[in-house]
């Protein structure tokens, strides 16, 4: 049983898939406050670096906005070096007294890289080109792993099917899915 504080925002599902240089990030739009859905069409995806980087977040919205701004600064400092920008952000996130308090995770991708960033200072590159974070992440990850070998399915179809599985199971994930592609 999950015991959530009633006044804390929880839940989302973010899924990042990659085949070669094709990549996408999908996210649901549900925002909950305790056990109540307060919004079903939130956008938890952002394009950064002139549209060349897609970021999806799970966690507190205000914290994620702060992290988007910080990542954008790192991408300006290290253009076309997503991995380096993410490592630099993770260093700051782990060592800065203010940033350490932020409660969010991010799935980040460009044409070459897919990465998970966490507040623990982690920058993780998945071994199977699939990232799934948030409350429904394990459900979306399982579905995506089953569907990725089906080459007749395009990435968006796999993402939408996987996100539907997550939304069917996770009460904090909605069927309102947004997809951003690179």
- Structural domain range at position 147: 9-174
C-alpha angle 8-13-18 in degrees, rounded to nearest 5? 150
As a whole number of Å, the end-to-end CA separation of the chain is: 38
Q: pLDDT tens digit string along 153-177? A: 999 999 999 999 999 999 999 999 9
Does residue 38 lie in a domain region? yes
Task: Say which of 8, 12, 13, 95 is annotated catalytic.
Answer: 12
Number of domains in the chain: 1
Q: Is 12 one of the catalytic residues?
A: yes
Residues whose CB is less than 8 angstroms from the CB of residue 65 and which lie 6 or more positions away in sequence, other chains included: none
Q: Check which CATH number belongs to the domain holding 56 and give it.
A: 3.60.20.10
Structure pTM?
A: 0.90
Q: pLDDT tens digit string along 78-134? A: 999 999 999 999 888 877 776 667 777 899 999 999 999 987 778 999 989 999 999
Does residue 36 lie in a domain region? yes
């Amino acid at each position: 049983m999950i015991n959530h504080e009633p006044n804390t925002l929880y839940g989302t599902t973010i899924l990042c898939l990659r085949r070669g240089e094709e990549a996408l990030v999908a996210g649901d739009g549900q925002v909950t406050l305790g056990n109540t859905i307060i919004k079903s069409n939130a956008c938890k995806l952002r394009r950064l670096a002139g549209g060349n980087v897609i970021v999806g977040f799970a966690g507190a919205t205000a914290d994620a906005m702060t992290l988007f701004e910080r990542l954008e600064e790192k991408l300006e400092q290290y253009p076309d070096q997503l991995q380096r920008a993410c490592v630099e952000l993770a260093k700051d996130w782990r060592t800065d007294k203010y940033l350490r308090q932020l409660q969010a995770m991010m799935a980040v991708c460009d044409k070459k890289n897919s990465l998970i960033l966490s507040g623990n200072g982690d920058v993780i590159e998945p071994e199977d080109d699939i990232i799934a974070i948030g409350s429904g992440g394990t459900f979306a990850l399982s579905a995506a792993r089953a569907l990725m070998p089906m080459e007749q399915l395009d990435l968006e179809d796999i993402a939408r099917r996987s996100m539907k599985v997550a939304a069917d199971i996770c009460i904090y994930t909605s069927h309102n899915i947004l997809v951003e592609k690179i």
